[in-house]
Amino acid sequence: MSPRLTAARTVTNVFQPRNLLLVCMPGVGWAAAGDWTGLPWGLLAALCAGLIPAGYIEWRRKRGAWGDRHVVDRTKRAPIFLVILGSIGTGSLIMVLGGAPAGILAAMLGLWAMTVGLLAVNTVWKISVDATVGSGVVALLAAAHSPWWLLGYAMTLAVCWSRVALKYHTVAQTVAGTGLGAASAAAFLFV
């Protein structure tokens, strides 16, 4: 494998959605609560939006349904989106019943809406989930903490580059994903 493709593979593996959500959502939870008590809510959000779906993908991959975690065939992606919607919905219900801060609930609503958007687009066209999540977490952190987090779009750009370099997506598919991810963070701005 060429150094360029090795770098692209590293970027796409390090900044995959579950990793970004695991890092981002506790920070959003902290901001929503105003202190450390938001961390458990953020971890619950990361579990529901990132870790459970990643576990499902790995389970299906081991059973031979998919070649790897990227699920490059868009026609096989619908079950993943349904698992994500169910998992985020369940996590949101737990948050409502547990009295979670409004900000983390708004973030979960944004992630749920983002997943609905991904599912809808995916029925007719392949869109980059990695670019969508990469953009969404940067926009969420910027909305929750400081506009300085927008510098994180350098990471999103690297994710988009890696997805195109690996031939998993076109430039248009990563641009569309980036736009959807940024739009999904809008819910947090209204809290």
Per-residue pLDDT reduced to its tens digit, 116-142: 999 999 999 999 999 999 999 999 999
Per-residue pLDDT reduced to its tens digit, 146-167: 999 999 999 999 999 999 999 9
Confidence check: pLDDT of 18 > 90:
yes
Q: What is the pLDDT of residue 68?
A: 74
**What average pLDDT does range 8-23 have in this prediction?**
97
* CA dist 25 → 22, 79, 94 (Å): 6, 23, 16
Confidence check: pLDDT of 186 > 90:
no
For the chain, the domains span: 3-189
List, in order, residues 6 or more apart from 159 with CB less than 8 Å away: 11, 12, 15, 130, 131, 134, 174
Per-residue pLDDT reduced to its tens digit, 30-58: 999 999 999 999 999 999 999 999 999 99
Q: What is the pLDDT of residue 76?
A: 87
Confidence check: pLDDT of 191 > 70:
no
Asked if 85 and 115 count as a contact pair (C-beta separation under 8 A), the reply is yes
* CA dist 21 → 16, 41, 63, 81 (Å): 9, 13, 25, 16
Share of the chain above pLDDT 90, in %: 86
Asked if 29 and 22 count as a contact pair (C-beta separation under 8 A), the reply is no
Please enumerate, as own/partner, the contacts of 36-42 that have beta carbons within 8 Å and a separation of 24 or more. Answer: 38/101, 38/103, 38/104, 41/95, 41/98, 41/100, 41/101, 41/104, 42/104
